[in-house]
């Protein structure tokens, strides 16, 4: 029963977070922090009721494990703060029994699904942004194709060789085909994502439109003082307050709303 409660909690929070991520490109703190406290609170109440303190402790360990992983991804600038906090909440939902190998397996499968589904989701969303902003995207995409011309030609020729090798089918030729296909798709996916990033994800906004955690893509000085450096981990509430009278537009890099990938990965995990 308690497992069902935690599962429903995870689904409800991921649905709400996905909606806000799509709508506003952010996950409010009340959702992310509330998720962590709700998951740990549920575990604590059940531990008190059942007199099984381990149930709460395993939740803390799961939270700590995901806290470490989330911070690595956050400080590497791979994820935003909202994504990191939701991952911590998922750790509290799963719990980590250090004496049970299957507990590690659940963590591993979920993260593998998150990376795999997230990659597919990211490419699909990038294509959507490219179509939506096709005029700007086309120019940047051509620039990247020209910049990586030799690598693109090599990938294309390698892919054709891989296809032709299947005419004399064997395990070796199939391996050649698989490697050439992965390489070809990887190169074009990289160019696609970079082109979308440069043409669709950077936007000039007013200081009044900034929200905590926005990645500022330029150094911003106000009254001769550096308020935000280009190499930042996301603007803070204090920095936004300092810029409340700043009149110039500020360059912000927005990310792809990634929380839906969490929801999809979790649903697949439950299905498995």
Do 228 and 216 touch, CB atoms closer than 8 A?
A: yes
pLDDT at 7 over 80: yes
Q: Encoding tokens for residue 155?
A: 């990938």
Residue 260: predicted pLDDT:
92
**Range list of H helices, 133-236:** 134-147, 149-165, 171-200
pLDDT at 263: 93
Q: Which pLDDT score is estimated for 268?
A: 93
pLDDT at 88: 93
Tell me if 145 sits within 8 A of 188, measured CB to CB.
Answer: no
- Is residue 236 predicted with pLDDT exceeding 90? no
What's the rounded mean pLDDT across residues 236-251? 79
Average pLDDT over residues 35-52: 90
Tens-place pLDDT, residues 85-98? 999 999 999 988 88
Average pLDDT over residues 142-169: 87
The alpha carbons of the chain give a radius of gyration, in whole angstroms, of 22
Q: Is the dihedral of CA 178, 181, 184, 188 positive or negative?
A: negative
Count other C-beta atoms under 10 Å from residue 228's C-beta: 24
Give domain limits for the chain: 2-99, 130-200, 202-253
pLDDT at position 245 is 73
Return the C-alpha torsion angle 94, 98, 104, 106, nearest 10: -30
Distances (CA, A) of 122 to 14, 28, 190: 17, 22, 11
pLDDT confidence band for 264 (50 / 70 / 90)? very high
Question: What is the tens place of the pLDDT at every residue in 181-226?
Answer: 988 888 888 888 888 888 888 888 787 777 777 778 788 777 777 7
237 and 212 in contact (C-beta within 8 Å)?
yes
81 pLDDT band, cuts 50/70/90, is: confident
The two three-digit tokens of residue 253, written as one number: 């890099």
Question: In which band, very low, low, confident or very high, does the pLDDT at 227 lie, cut at 50, 70 and 90?
Answer: confident
Burial 144-178 (b: 16+ CB within 10 A, else e): beeebeeebeebeebbeebeebeeeeeeebeebbe
The pTM for the full model equals: 0.79
Residue 78 has pLDDT above 80, yes or no: no
Q: What is the dihedral of CA 100, 114, 20, 63, to 10 degrees?
A: 30
């Amino acid at each position: 029963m308690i497992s069902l409660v935690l599962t429903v909690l995870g689904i409800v929070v991921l649905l709400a977070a996905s909606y806000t991520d799509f709508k506003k490109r952010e996950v409010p703190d009340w959702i992310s922090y509330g998720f962590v406290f709700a998951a740990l609170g549920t575990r604590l109440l059940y531990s008190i009721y059942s007199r099984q303190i381990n149930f709460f402790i395993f939740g803390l360990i799961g939270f700590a494990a995901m806290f470490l992983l989330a911070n690595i991804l956050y400080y590497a600038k791979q994820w935003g703060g909202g994504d990191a906090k939701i991952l911590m909440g998922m750790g509290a939902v799963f719990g980590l029994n250090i004496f049970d190998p299957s507990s590690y397996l659940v963590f591993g499968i979920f993260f593998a699904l998150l990376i795999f589904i997230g990659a597919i989701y990211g490419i699909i969303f990038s294509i959507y942004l490219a179509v939506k902003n096709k005029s700007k995207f086309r120019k940047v995409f051509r620039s990247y194709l020209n910049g990586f011309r030799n690598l693109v030609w090599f990938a294309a020729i390698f892919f054709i060789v891989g296809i032709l090798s299947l005419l004399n089918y064997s395990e070796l030729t199939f391996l050649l085909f698989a490697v050439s296909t992965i390489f070809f798709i990887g190169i074009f996916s990289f160019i696609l994502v970079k082109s979308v990033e440069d043409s669709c994800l950077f936007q000039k906004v007013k200081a009044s439109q900034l929200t905590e955690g926005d990645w500022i893509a330029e150094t911003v000085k106000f009254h001769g003082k550096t308020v935000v450096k280009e190499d930042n981990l996301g603007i803070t509430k204090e920095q936004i307050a300092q810029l409340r009278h700043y009149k110039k537009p500020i360059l912000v890099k927005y990310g792809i709303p990634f929380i839906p990938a969490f929801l999809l990965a979790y649903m697949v995990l439950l299905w498995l």
